[in-house]
C-alpha cells in the first residue's frame, strides 16, 4: 500500500490524489470549522483597553499658562524624574493603597462558570464581608433569591484557598473539597467555618432568570493582578505626560480603578510637598485637572482606547 510519508519525504502526488478522492469530506469540513470558529469567538468575553493621562508639573502649584503647559508636555525645562514617577505610580504599594480604598473585595457575576460576565456597581444584592474573619477566596458562591427576605446559597469547589482578612495572610494548605447549600436571611450576618458575610438585597428583578454568583477575592491577588496589567509610559520621549493603561472586561470597574489610582497619587504627592515645602519652596510633582473630584493643575484624561477578544478571562 502506498504511503504519503515514506523515508521522511512527502509523496505530494499521492496526497493530491487522496484529497481528490475524498473531496466531499473537505467540502463539509470547511463550513463546520468556520461555524465552530464563529461560535468560539462569540463565547469569548470582550476585553476593553482603558487609558488615563497624567501631567507631571515641574514647579507650579497653581494653574499653568498655555505656553507653560506646552513646555511641560514637550519636556522643556525638565525638573521631574519621569522614570521615578512611573515606578512610584506602578509600584505594589501605590496599587495596594488604591485597592484598599475601593470595593473590589467582592466580584459579582451572571452566567454559568464557563460563560461568566462580571458586573460592577449594579447587582441584585450586595455582599459585605467580615474584615476580621477568615474567608474562602476565589470560589464562586451561587445565590438563588427566594423572596425579599431570604435566599439560598450554594458552593461546590475543590482545593479552596482560605485568606485571613485580619492577619492579611493566606493560610497554609487548601481545603480539599467544600460543598454546602443553605438558606440565609438578607441583612443578617452569615457565618461558616471559613466564611463570614452579610448579603443585602438591592434590586431582585435585575438579571432575573440568570445564574447569579459572587466571589470573595484574595486581596493580594487583586493587587498583583492590577500591577501585572497596569502599564505606565511617557506619552513621548522626554514628555511630562504619562499614559496609564489597563485592560478588563468591565468598563466601569477599570475606569474606577484608574481614577482612584490618580487620586491616591495626587494625595501622596501633596503630602510629600507639605513635608518639604519649608525646605524647598519650588516643589516638583504631580498636578491635575479634568477628572471628577479633582482640583488643581493635574491633567488627566480617562477613556476606552480599544476592544479586544481574550481567551484568558481577563
* Mean pLDDT within 203-208: 84
- Do 234 and 167 share a structural domain? no
Name which of 68-77, 95-104, 270-279 the model is least confident about.
68-77
pTM to 2 decimals?
A: 0.72
What sign does the CA torsion over 156, 157, 158, 160 have? negative
DSSP-assigned letter for residue 285: E
Q: Is the per-residue pLDDT at 96 higher than 60?
A: yes
What is the mean pLDDT of the segment spanning 188-196? 94
pLDDT tens digit sequence for 214-261? 999 999 999 999 999 999 998 888 778 888 999 888 989 999 999 999
Gyration radius from the chain CA atoms: 27
| Cell representation of residue 258 | 484608574
Same domain, 229 and 189: no
Total count of domains within the chain: 3
Torsional sign, CA 105, 110, 116, 122:
negative
Whether 32 and 68 share a structural domain: no
Residues 170 and 249 occupy one common structural domain: no
What single DSSP character describes residue 214?
E
Q: What is the pLDDT of residue 223?
A: 97
Name the residue among 311, 99, 106, 116 with its Cα closest to residue 226. Answer: 99
- Cell numbers at residue 295, please? 482640583
Task: Answer yes or no: do 201 and 64 share one domain.
Answer: no
Residue with cell 516643589: 283
Q: Over range 84-94, report the average pLDDT.
A: 92
- Answer yes or no: do 241 and 289 share one domain: yes
Quickly state the pLDDT bin for 11 (edges 50, 70, 90).
low
Identify whether the C-beta of residue 152 lies closer than 8 Å to the C-beta of residue 143: yes
Q: Which of 216, 249, 272 is a domain's end point? A: 216
Q: What is the mean pLDDT of residues 28-38?
A: 66
Q: Is residue 305 located within the same domain as residue 247?
A: yes
pLDDT at 179: 94
Q: Which of 172, 197, 216 is the last residue in one of the domains?
A: 216
Closest C-alpha to 77, from 88, 89, 87, 67: 67
Residues 37 and 12 in one domain: yes
Indicate if 129 and 177 belong to the same structural domain.
Answer: yes
pLDDT band at 266 (very low <50, low <70, confident <90, very high): confident
Q: Last residue of some domain: 216, 234, 265?
A: 216
299 and 164 share one domain:
no
CA neighbor of 202 nearest in space, from 148, 279, 258, 256: 148
Q: What is the rounded average pLDDT for all residues in the chain?
A: 78
Whether 97 and 167 share a structural domain: no
Q: Which domain holds residue 144?
A: 106-216
Q: Do 212 and 281 fall within a single domain?
A: no
**Of the given ranges (22-26, 121-125, 198-202, 274-278), which has the lowest mean pLDDT?**
22-26
Give strand pairing partners of 303. Answer: 51
Amino acid at each position: 500500500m502506498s504511503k504519503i510519508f515514506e523515508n521522511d519525504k512527502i509523496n505530494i502526488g499521492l496526497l493530491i490524489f487522496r484529497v481528490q478522492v475524498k473531496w466531499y469530506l473537505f467540502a463539509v469540513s470547511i463550513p463546520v470549522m468556520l461555524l465552530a470558529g464563529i461560535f468560539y469567538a462569540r463565547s469569548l468575553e470582550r476585553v476593553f483597553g482603558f487609558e488615563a493621562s497624567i501631567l507631571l508639573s515641574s514647579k507650579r502649584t497653581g494653574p499653568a499658562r498655555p505656553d507653560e503647559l506646552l513646555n511641560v508636555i514637550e519636556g522643556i525645562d525638565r525638573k521631574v524624574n519621569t522614570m521615578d514617577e512611573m515606578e512610584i505610580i506602578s509600584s505594589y504599594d501605590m496599587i495596594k493603597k488604591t485597592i484598599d480604598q475601593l470595593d473590589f473585595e467582592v466580584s459579582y457575576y451572571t452566567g454559568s462558570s464557563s460563560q461568566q460576565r462580571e458586573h460592577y456597581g449594579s447587582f441584585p444584592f450586595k455582599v459585605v464581608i467580615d474584615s476580621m474573619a477568615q474567608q474562602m477566596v476565589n470560589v464562586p458562591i451561587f445565590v438563588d433569591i427566594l423572596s425579599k427576605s431570604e435566599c439560598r446559597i450554594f458552593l461546590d469547589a475543590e482545593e479552596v484557598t482560605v485568606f485571613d482578612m485580619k492577619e492579611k495572610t493566606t493560610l497554609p494548605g487548601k481545603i480539599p473539597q467544600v460543598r454546602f447549600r443553605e438558606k440565609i436571611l438578607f441583612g443578617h450576618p452569615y457565618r461558616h467555618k471559613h466564611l463570614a458575610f452579610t448579603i443585602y438585597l438591592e434590586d431582585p428583578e435585575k438579571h432575573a432568570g440568570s445564574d447569579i454568583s459572587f466571589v470573595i477575592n484574595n486581596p493580594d491577588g487583586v493587587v498583583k493582578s492590577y500591577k501585572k496589567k497596569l502599564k505606565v509610559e511617557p506619552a513621548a520621549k522626554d514628555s511630562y505626560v504619562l499614559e496609564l493603561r489597563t485592560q478588563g472586561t468591565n468598563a466601569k470597574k477599570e475606569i474606577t480603578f484608574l481614577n482612584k489610582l490618580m487620586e491616591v497619587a495626587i494625595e501622596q504627592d501633596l503630602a510629600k510637598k507639605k513635608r518639604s515645602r519649608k525646605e524647598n519652596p519650588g516643589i516638583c510633582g504631580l498636578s491635575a485637572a479634568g477628572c471628577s473630584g479633582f482640583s488643581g493643575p493635574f491633567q488627566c484624561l480617562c477613556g476606552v482606547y480599544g476592544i479586544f477578544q481574550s481567551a484568558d478571562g481577563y
